Amino acid sequence: MRPSKLTAEPVSRLVDELGRLPGIGPKSASRLTYYLLRASREQALALAEAILELKERVFLCSTCFNITETDPCALCLDPTRDRSIICVVEEPLDALALERTGEYRGLYHVLHGAISPVDGIGPDKLRIRELLERVERERPQEVILATNPNIEGDATAMYIARQLIPRGITTSRPASGLPVGGDLEYADEITLGRALVGRRAL
């Protein structure tokens, strides 16, 4: 798997690093590395700087845990958003997908994952405690549980609903129509918008 000794050390190092990214196998990692080797110095530097900036300037909003450059994030500060609804999603990309529908004017809460006992992921590894504290603090009228329409997303929604219902908070789940097993992030805007509007109380 490791490039042979014929390869310069910086080359094999980049191949190794790229190969650790999701969706990139050893072959793609080599292809990208040799592409960058031939690319202009400016292009390579721009990529390196973009990665550095990502790590230095982007962090998580301390209210909604979405990615942001400011804390609280622009969306949490936006006075035109409806503060009586919080929509819970698994990943920042899911919030982005819901924003694109144009159907939602409330706030978000990003969990950064979903409950999965088989993978050892329980509520403590997600931003669920922070959600419960936030709900106590902000007392929204409704919490929409827009986790993925799959086994982990359903389990996460059931768990959160079980915590919120005794606290007197209305919880709902986007309507069916979203195909089982698919990722929210890939759903088309019309289907996603419709699922959001037709959400059902839990």
Partner 1 sequence: MGRDAPSEQFESAQQQHRARLYRSNAIILRRRDTGEADRILTLLTEAHGKTRVVAKGVRRPGSRMAGHLEPFSVVQILVARTRGLDIVSQAELRSAFSAMRQSERAVSTAGYFGELLDLLLPEEQVVDGVFPLATAALELLDQGYDPRSVAFVFEMGLLRCLGYRPRVDRCIVCDAVLQPVSNAFSVEGGLVCQGCALARHALIPLSVNAQKLLRLVDRGEIEPVLRLRVGAAVWSELAVVVHTYIARIAGRELSAPRVIHELRLD
- 182 belongs to the binding site for partner 1 (CB under 8 A): yes
Residue 94: strand, helix, or coil: helix
Which of the choices Zn ion, partner 1, none does residue 34 contact, using the CB cut-off of 5 to 8 A by kind?
Answer: none
Contacts of 69 (CB under 8 A, 6+ apart): 57, 58
Cα–Cα distance between 107 and 151 in angstroms, integer? 25
Taking CB under 8 A as the binding criterion, the range among 62-70, 75-83, 137-145, 154-162 that sits at the site for partner 1 is 154-162
Closest CA to 85 of 178, 194, 174: 174
- 191 belongs to the binding site for partner 1 (CB under 8 A): yes
From candidates 1, 20, 22, 41, binder to partner 1 by CB under 8 A = 22
- 34 belongs to the binding site for partner 1 (CB under 8 A): no
Backbone angles phi, psi at 89, to 5 degrees: -130, 165
The neighbour count for residue 17, using CB atoms within 10 Å, is 12
Identify which of residues 107 and 196 has a Cβ nearer to partner 1 in the complex: 196
The distance of closest approach from Cβ of residue 86 to Zn ion in the complex, given in angstroms and rounded to an integer, is: 11
Residues in contact with partner 1 by the rule CB under 8 A: 22-23, 115-124, 150-151, 154-155, 158-159, 162, 178-183, 186-188, 191
